[in-house]
Structure formats: structure tokens, C-alpha cells
Amino acid sequence: MKIIETPIPGLLIIEPRVFADERGYFFESFNEIKFTEAGLNTGFIQDNESKSHRGVIRGLHYQLAPYAQAKLIRVVRGTVYDVAVDLRQGSPTFGEWFGIEVSASKKNQFYIPKGFAHGFSVLSEFAIFSYKCDEFYNPKADRGIRFDDPTLKIDWKFPLEEAVISAKDLALPFFANAEMNFKFE
């Protein structure tokens, strides 16, 4: 398993070692020992999965502390463009975002620590999106930022007029008005 740092502290790309032959393939999608050795004491407690079709944007979502969630993202089928926005006050990259294409064919993963807003756009015909969380969903702590925030200027990798957005996500505030309570450590 290869763990790659991104330009934003704490965001990591995970490339598992894939063993392929004429029968198919095998890889470890998660190994607690290897994550712990890399300094990631995750304590994942819940797995979630969603299916979305091309053009869907989900996000940008997060939960306020102390209910913030670290996530380990992977795509079981299809391709998404996954985005994390740094919401940690005092971070050298506060308000910056990082995006990566995550796909079933690459088998790559994206680790997002607490203190980030998260969202993704579906680039394939459809995608089955799976992620681990280290905290349970808490509706009272649930928050978000609009996908089309003019200060963030996120490139979702297709024209926004083609985007399919939920009513909930359309009602989210822009970054400047979003409630956030994360500190950079």
C-alpha cells in the first residue's frame, strides 16, 4: 500500500497493491496496521455506499466538531472527481481545495481527515461510491457549503449547467457564511 501526501496537510491518496492474474484481481482496501504505521489512527466505525449517475454532484458536506468525520473514500464502480476543502482555522491551506479522480479501474482511495468539507461529481455513466467514517452521522452537526461557491471556484470536471444537485445541497450557504469550528493542529 502506497500512501501519498497531497499539497494540503492531512489529505492523502492511497494506492493499494493490486495482485492481478487470469482469474481477476485481489487487493487490501483497508489494513489497520498499515494505516497505524503511517500515523493514521482512524478507528472507522461505519461504512456507507451510494449510487449516482453522470452529472450528479454531492456536497460539500461535513459535521461540526466534536462530531466531525474522517473518511476513507473509494469507488467500487465507475469514476468520480472527489474534492476536499480545508476548513481548519490556522491551517496554511485554510479555504483551499484539492481534487482527485477516484475510480474503480485505478482502485485508488482518498483519505480525508476531520476538518474538511467533502463532495464529489460523477464522471462515468454511474458510480458506486463507498466510504468509511470514524464517527456516526449526527443530523444536528450536519453542515455544508454550496458546490458552486464563487470564492472556492471548484472545477467539477463538467459544465455546471449539466449538474444534478439535491434541493438540500442547493440550499447550503457559501463558504463565507458557513458555520465551521475546526482548528489546525
Q: Where are the domains of the chain?
A: 2-18+44-183
pTM: 0.93
pLDDT, mean of residues 92-116: 97
Better-scored residue on pLDDT, 185 or 104: 104
The answer, yes or no, to whether residue 18 has pLDDT greater than 90, is no
- 119-154 pLDDT tens trace: 999 999 999 999 999 999 999 999 999 999 999 999
How many CB atoms lie under 10 A from the CB of residue 97? 21
pLDDT band at 17 (very low <50, low <70, confident <90, very high): confident
Superfamily of domain 2-18+44-183: Jelly Rolls (2.60.120.10)
The backbone torsions φ and ψ at residue 3, rounded to the nearest 5 degrees and listed phi first, read: -110, 120
Indicate the length of the chain as a whole number: 185
For cell 464529489, what's the residue? Answer: 120
pLDDT band at 37 (very low <50, low <70, confident <90, very high): confident
pLDDT at 1: 85
Query: Which are the catalytic amino acids?
Result: 61, 131
pLDDT at 103: 97
Q: Minimum mean pLDDT among 31-45, 56-70, 129-143: which range?
A: 31-45
Burial 153-166 (b: 16+ CB within 10 A, else e): ebebeeeeeebebe
